[in-house]
Structure 1
Amino acid sequence: MIFNRFTRTAGFLFLTALAGLGVSSCTKDTDGSPQIKPGNPAVTALSPDSAAGGALVTLTGTGLGDIRSIVFEKGNVPAGFQSTLNTENALIFRVPADVLGGNQNIIFTNSAGNTVTVPFKALAYPTVASVSNYNFTKGTVLTLTGNNFDDVTAVAIADSVKGISDAATVVSKTKTQLVVQMPATTLTRGTLSITNSTGRMRTKQEFVNLDKVYQIFTDAYGTGYQDGSWGDAAAVTTKEFASGTASVGKNFQKGNWHLIAFANWSASAIPYSADYTYVTGWIKGASADYSLYLTTDAGKAGFGDFVDKNKIDVKAGVWNYFKIKLSDMDFWVAGKTLKQVGFRIQGPDKQDETFYFDDILLVK
């Protein structure tokens, strides 16, 4: 009797397991999306109806649970979304980062191929990541690298405080690059105003009009200036330049504390003026990263001293742009005449190093 009861129990468990396997084998594999039959989707609202790349958008209506594709009409740019979060009445997605700006439709498609389109304005303002130069004269061609330039309609050098805006010429444009030719302007410095189908923006980068600044060195020494370097003499060269056609190079010898100096011993040397705001320039780095110290004979420290707040970090092998407020450094004491501007290095210790300097300017 005990044996029979054991046999019946084991047989019952075996049949139960088989039944379980049968039910399991009939269960449909899914991707986790709601198991909703495709229908004809209809839209009640889209919120917001305009946004930039990365913004979260909510679509509400009926028949939305089976949506499998979201595409922005301009350029057929797809939007990523989690279908597992769909409901019959709501769908959440993000505007793609590479969306093309302007008015367009968003096309929603379900697994049966049924679609619904909703109007949307993609906000894709121009953004500027880098520029070929910060200095210009009339006719200078600048290359801007960034995003959303393909539908740019206008560019201008502008100063909102002074109420001046002078139109530049768009030479060429792609999605990520904009080339412009600069106009004649009365501005000493200003930002670029760039307009596309989304709207207008102002660059964070500021651009300097070479014709309106005090030139210490551009393609040649400024009026009254000459080489006053310590150690090896500096030499003007046309082989290296950040803009224009030339720069000035200086060899800093190993084991010596050399200095490149721009010296003005003439009557054109300028007395102190509080109107000057910035010192700017380009330095091409040597074989390794170094720090150069800007020094003047009009500061509190003596000419050739190393003052921490005058330090400029220079990356190796590339042109480095610097723009420093005079009020943030030891540059010019009221009442003094500026006759010497120099750049000094501590070392180099391993080998001789050559740096190049271009567009050394004082800017109001």
Structure 2
Amino acid sequence: MKFNIFNRIAALSALTLAAGFTLTSCTEDTDGSPQIKPGNPVVAKIFPDSAASGSLVTVTGSGLGDMRTVVFEKQAVPAGFQSTLNTDGALMFRVPSEAAGGVQKVTLTNSAGQAVTVNFKVLAFATVSDASNFNFSKGTEITITGNNLDDVTAVAFADSVKGISDPATIVSKAKKTLVIKMPASTLDRGTLTITNSTGRTRTRQEFVNVDKAYQIFSDAYGTGYQDGSWGDGGVVSTKEFKSGTASVAKTFQKGNWHLIGFANWSSSAISYSPDYTYITGWIKGASADYSLYLTTDASKGGFGGYDEKNRIDVKANTWTYFKLKLSDIDFWSAGKTLKQVGFRIKGPDKQDETFYFDDIMLVK
């Protein structure tokens, strides 16, 4: 009797296991997309019908649930989308960052190779993420990095408030880079207006006209200026420079808390003027990241101090650009004459460190 019971249990288990295999073998693996067979795709509407990269676009119609690719006509750029969100009546995708600007066809193709196209305008305004330099003289070549720069037709150094727009010369252009030659200008500083097939845009970055600035150091010491460093003096170097042909090098000795100084003891020292808005320049870092402290003899704290408002963080072995608004830092007290400008360091503690300084200027 027990033997028969055990046999029945074993037989039932075998049947259950077999049924499980049968059910498993009948279940189709999917990628999570709706199980919609490819149909005859028809587009009724695309919304919006123009947008910039990253924008979400919705296509409505019928037969859209089995789409496998979305491709922008110009340069055959594919758009990413989530097939799991498709329905027979709607498909969503984002405009790819590589899409070229202008009106073009967008082609949607399903798994059966059936395709439908719809017109769409890519708004590909030129964008600027960085520039090789933010200071220039007439004829300076600047390399701009960003996007949608390959169809740029015009660039100008401009100030919309003053109504001045000085055209720059386009030297070369590609999708991600644009090289321009800067013009002569009466502007102290301004932005760039960049025009391409989508339209005109303005950079958020501001550029400084070296020829209009008060130069403390630019290839050489400015009028009346000389080395006024503590410890080892500043040395004009043609080995390293950000602009022109030279910078000034300063070796800060280990543990000595040195300072590089630019001193003007002559009658050409500049009296306080509220017209000056910024101090700007470039510093090439040493072997590690350090902080330098801008200091002047015309400040409230006096020359040689460590005011956190005046701190400049300098990356190792890299040219770091700084542009400090004078009203935000302790730099120049009303009524005082500016005779000394310096950069002081805490340390260095491990070893001697050499920094390079270029285009140190006051800008209106």
Q: TM-score, normalised by structure 1?
A: 0.93
**Uncovered stretches (5+) of structure 2, i.e. residues with no partner:** none
User: In structure 1, how many angstroms separate the alpha carbons of the residues matched to 2:106 and 2:25?
Assistant: 39
Deviation at 1:257, TM superposition (A): 2.3
Deviation at 1:229, TM superposition (A): 1.4
1:68 maps to 2:64: no
Root mean square deviation of aligned Cα: 2.3
Aligned amino acid, residue 195 of structure 1: T
User: In structure 2, how many angstroms separate the alpha carbons of the residues matched to 1:333 and 1:125?
Assistant: 43
Instruction: Specify the alignment match of 2:264 in structure 1.
Output: 264
1:307 maps to 2:297: no
1:237 maps to 2:232: no
Instruction: Specify the alignment match of 1:85 in structure 2.
Output: 85
Deviations 1:86-109 (A, max 9, x none): 222111222223222221111011
Deviation at 1:248, TM superposition (A): 0.7
User: In structure 1, how many angstroms separate the alpha carbons of the residues matched to 2:41 and 2:216?
Assistant: 69
Question: Structure 2 matches for 1:98-177, cutoff 5 A?
Answer: 98-177=98-177
Question: Structure 2 matches for 1:1-364, cutoff 5 A?
Answer: 25-364=25-364
User: In structure 2, how many angstroms separate the alpha carbons of the residues matched to 1:260 and 1:157?
Assistant: 33
User: In structure 1, how many angstroms separate the alpha carbons of the residues matched to 2:105 and 2:246?
Assistant: 52
User: In structure 2, how many angstroms separate the alpha carbons of the residues matched to 1:164 and 1:77?
Assistant: 39
Deviation at 1:305, TM superposition (A): 1.9
Relative to 1, partners in 2 of residues 1:8 and 1:98: Cα closer, same or farther, differing over 3 Å? same
User: In structure 1, how many angstroms separate the alpha carbons of the residues matched to 2:139 and 2:21?
Assistant: 79
User: In structure 1, how many angstroms separate the alpha carbons of the residues matched to 2:10 and 2:343?
Assistant: 93
Relative to 1, partners in 2 of residues 1:38 and 1:265: Cα closer, same or farther, differing over 3 Å? same
User: In structure 1, how many angstroms separate the alpha carbons of the residues matched to 2:73 and 2:163?
Assistant: 39
User: In structure 2, how many angstroms separate the alpha carbons of the residues matched to 1:251 and 1:269?
Assistant: 26
Relative to 1, partners in 2 of residues 1:342 and 1:17: Cα closer, same or farther, differing over 3 Å? closer
User: In structure 2, how many angstroms separate the alpha carbons of the residues matched to 1:13 and 1:250?
Assistant: 85
User: In structure 2, how many angstroms separate the alpha carbons of the residues matched to 1:19 and 1:43?
Assistant: 45
Deviation at 1:204, TM superposition (A): 1.3
Relative to 1, partners in 2 of residues 1:182 and 1:15: Cα closer, same or farther, differing over 3 Å? same
Deviations 1:205-224 (A, max 9, x none): 11000111101110001111
User: In structure 2, how many angstroms separate the alpha carbons of the residues matched to 1:248 and 1:9?
Assistant: 92
Aligned amino acid, residue 30 of structure 1: T
Deviation at 1:28, TM superposition (A): 4.3
Relative to 1, partners in 2 of residues 1:227 and 1:40: Cα closer, same or farther, differing over 3 Å? same
Aligned to 1:204, the other structure's residue is in SS state coil
Aligned to 1:103, the other structure's residue is in SS state strand
Aligned amino acid, residue 242 of structure 1: K
Deviation at 1:9, TM superposition (A): 10
User: In structure 2, how many angstroms separate the alpha carbons of the residues matched to 1:90 and 1:195?
Assistant: 35
Relative to 1, partners in 2 of residues 1:355 and 1:8: Cα closer, same or farther, differing over 3 Å? closer
User: In structure 2, how many angstroms separate the alpha carbons of the residues matched to 1:346 and 1:9?
Assistant: 83
Aligned amino acid, residue 202 of structure 1: R
Deviation at 1:33, TM superposition (A): 2.8
Which range is displaced more, 213-222 or 108-117? 108-117
Q: TM-score, normalised by structure 2?
A: 0.93
Paired residues, number: 364
Deviation at 1:352, TM superposition (A): 1.6
Relative to 1, partners in 2 of residues 1:160 and 1:12: Cα closer, same or farther, differing over 3 Å? same
**Uncovered stretches (5+) of structure 1, i.e. residues with no partner:** none
Aligned to 2:84, the other structure's residue is in SS state helix
User: In structure 1, how many angstroms separate the alpha carbons of the residues matched to 2:192 and 2:116?
Assistant: 40
Aligned to 1:33, the other structure's residue is in SS state coil
User: In structure 1, how many angstroms separate the alpha carbons of the residues matched to 2:12 and 2:321?
Assistant: 84
User: In structure 2, how many angstroms separate the alpha carbons of the residues matched to 1:158 and 1:81?
Assistant: 40
